[in-house]
Structure 1
Amino acid sequence: MNLNDNRLIIKTLKSGDQKTFSLVYASYYKPLCLFCSSYVSPEEAEEIVQDLMMYVWEKRELLVEDMSLKSFLFTSVKNRALNVVTRVHITRHVYKEYQSQQLKASSALDSCYCTELFNAYMKALRELPKEQQEAYVMSRYKQLTHKEIADMLNVSIQTVNYRIGKALQFFRIRLKDFCP
């Protein structure tokens, strides 16, 4: 059968002739894939062409005998390829926008959380009994050893251990909502 006789090809396709479809498939598959791969990857091009050929076979009754089958196939492949490119582009754009929004929300949430935690910590520090507060500040902020703190406060090392331990216990209770 001659592929140049467009009317006959479409007429026999519409009638369900599998030999004609095989001829069309074999004749146009590689050129369509090559053309399509100028828009998308070769793997995607093959998938697009295969999908188009399946569509042609399944919807063969809708083919119009006056149309150019070759033009229809190449135009359809081009449109399908452009749809894939557009879909990929839009998906990437949406994903980048989503990531950006998540990062902004996360940063704002982290900042809010840190500020809230810091405020709760400072409030708890101010509420500590004077002796515990003094020992804790000397240990954590002035980075003195327990012996140095004991010498400065004229108390035993065990007393310093006790006061710092009580301060840490107080913080655990007061800041429990911020800890996992």
Structure 2
Amino acid sequence: MNLNDNRLIIRTLKSGNQKVFSLVYASYYKPLCLFCSSYVSSEEAEEIVQDLMMYVWEKRELLVEDLSLKSFLFTSVRNRALNSITRSHITRQVYERYQNQQMKSLSALDPNYSTELFNAYMEAFHALPKEQQEVYVMSRYKQLTHKAIADMLEVSVQTVNYRMGKALQFFRIRLRDFFLE
């Protein structure tokens, strides 16, 4: 099938033809990843492109035959990459402000606060199950994406998300006395 026949491609996608979707995926995946990696890391670019392709498949009935599929894909990837940059920047700023505020207010009250917090953190870390420790270290210290961790551990991304969520929940519970609510 000719990818240049936009109307036919979209019409066939809308009908649920998986072979055409596979052709579109195979044809656009690498160029989209390359384009997206000019905004974000290669790993994140792959995640963005995969998410977009799944979105296209799930929402294929909404595709408009008069619009260029190629333009839609590249524009969507760019927008998703920019949204990701914005989200991570805002999250980092909020987290840093919160951490600074917590550290200033609590360390001013008790000069031994940092040592106590560190000791409690290490105790909590060592109490984590091995699988959660491993995921936590790879995510927080090695700064790997959940997909990269999943690939390295040969588990699903959902498993990594679950383990990381459980680890963070455990830390919140074990260290709650150190932070103002």
Give TM class, smaller chain: 0.5 to 0.7
Instruction: Return the offset for 1:83.
Output: 1.1
CA deviation profile, 1:135-176 (whole Å, cap 9, x unmatched): xxxxxxxxxxxxxxxxxxxxxxxxxxxxxxxxxxxxxxxxxx
Mapped to 1, the partners of 2:110 and 2:23 lie a distance apart of 64
Residue of structure 1 equivalent to 2:81: 81
Residue of structure 2 equivalent to 1:29: 29
Instruction: Return the offset for 1:58.
Output: 0.6
Residue of structure 2 equivalent to 1:4: 4
Residue of structure 2 equivalent to 1:137: none
Mapped to 2, the partners of 1:43 and 1:105 lie a distance apart of 38
CA RMSD of aligned residues (A): 1.4
Number of residue-to-residue matches in the alignment: 112
Residue of structure 1 equivalent to 2:131: none
**Structure 1: unaligned runs, 5 residues or longer:** 112-180
- List aligned pairs for 1:23-172, cutoff 5 A: 23-110=23-110
Mapped to 2, the partners of 1:9 and 1:48 lie a distance apart of 22
Residue of structure 2 equivalent to 1:125: none
Mapped to 1, the partners of 2:71 and 2:108 lie a distance apart of 55
Instruction: Return the offset for 1:29.
Output: 0.2
CA deviation profile, 1:112-136 (whole Å, cap 9, x unmatched): xxxxxxxxxxxxxxxxxxxxxxxxx
CA deviation profile, 1:75-117 (whole Å, cap 9, x unmatched): 1111111111111101110111011101221133227xxxxxx
Mapped to 2, the partners of 1:40 and 1:82 lie a distance apart of 8
- Describe the SS at the equivalent of 2:16: coil
CA deviation profile, 1:55-87 (whole Å, cap 9, x unmatched): 100100000000110010001111111111111
Q: Which amino acid aligns with 2:18?
A: Q
**Structure 2: unaligned runs, 5 residues or longer:** 112-181
- Describe the SS at the equivalent of 1:50: helix
Work out which of the two has the higher radius of gyration on C-alpha atoms and give 1 or 2: 1
Q: Which amino acid aligns with 1:80?
A: R
**So what's the TM-score if we normalise by structure 1?**
0.60
Residue of structure 1 equivalent to 2:156: none
Q: Determine what percentage of the aligned residue pairs are the same residue.
A: 85
Instruction: Return the offset for 1:28.
Output: 0.2
Mapped to 1, the partners of 2:30 and 2:65 lie a distance apart of 24
Mapped to 2, the partners of 1:43 and 1:110 lie a distance apart of 42
